[in-house]
Chain A
């Protein structure tokens, strides 16, 4: 009944950034039809909420899957400092050739956080607004 347990730890972070959904592979009319107001030429912004979930054995010496004291500076450095108050299309090189939908932002955030050394990255979840969210688990 009581087999081995799996523990994970989830921490929420915030960053605000602007983006524009627009693909050079589509005509202006197609971009407008596909992305609507998200394709307006000067971009727009969101208060993104990022949930980072890590998993692994609980260290008996600390009682922790991962020390928040290590996870926080890692995510701050890798994501928050890089993304906060930026225009994702222009200032994050990976979005030069890739539309910064929140699906793609999830993938990029996952790629950057995957190197966290102290525990296994299980999932990244991003709330673009309080009404929509996106998840990527690798």
Chain B
């Protein structure tokens, strides 16, 4: 509603929505020898693939609109996640059936980055703050904007 610049830290709210999808994948680099693939990727290199119940947490940051009290309409975010991610990836083989991942090894890191790139242009209110993708309850990747992260890196 009002002219928005970069929201002040103190006024900013983060909103997170979670969805799940189940998919198959395997890790294989065609430039590696079979032995090297086995050594680097271990059982994840099994050519028949294996699967996970992925849990995706998407965080959008912004100042709540004073008229609605919302950073964005969560129902809209839910629809975006369904359309852009779940419809694309759920019950699919990520190596073979998701064009955005073609030529990439579908690790948590790469899938999270693809999800970021699919979602960023669709979020019209607030801005995409973080994509967190759990491959299992004990392993997840976070994708954020470099400029927004706390850690500079080499």
Contacts and interface: CB of A to CB of B under 8 A. Distances in A.
A97 interface: no
B154 interface: yes
Interface residues of B, number: 37
Interface of A: 1-13, 53, 55-58, 61-65, 67-69, 120, 122, 137
A61 B40 CA distance: 10
Q: Is the interface of B mostly helix, strand, loop or mixed?
A: mixed
Contacts of A7: 109, 112-113, 141-143
29 contacts: A1-B120, A3-B146, A3-B147, A4-B147, A5-B113, A5-B143, A5-B145, A6-B144, A6-B149, A7-B112, A7-B142, A7-B143, A9-B139, A10-B141, A11-B138, A12-B138, A56-B153, A56-B154, A57-B153, A58-B107, A58-B110, A58-B113, A61-B29, A62-B29, A62-B41, A63-B104, A63-B105, A63-B106, A67-B40
A110 B42 CA distance: 27
A56 B109 CA distance: 11
Contact of A6 (B31, B108, B145): B145
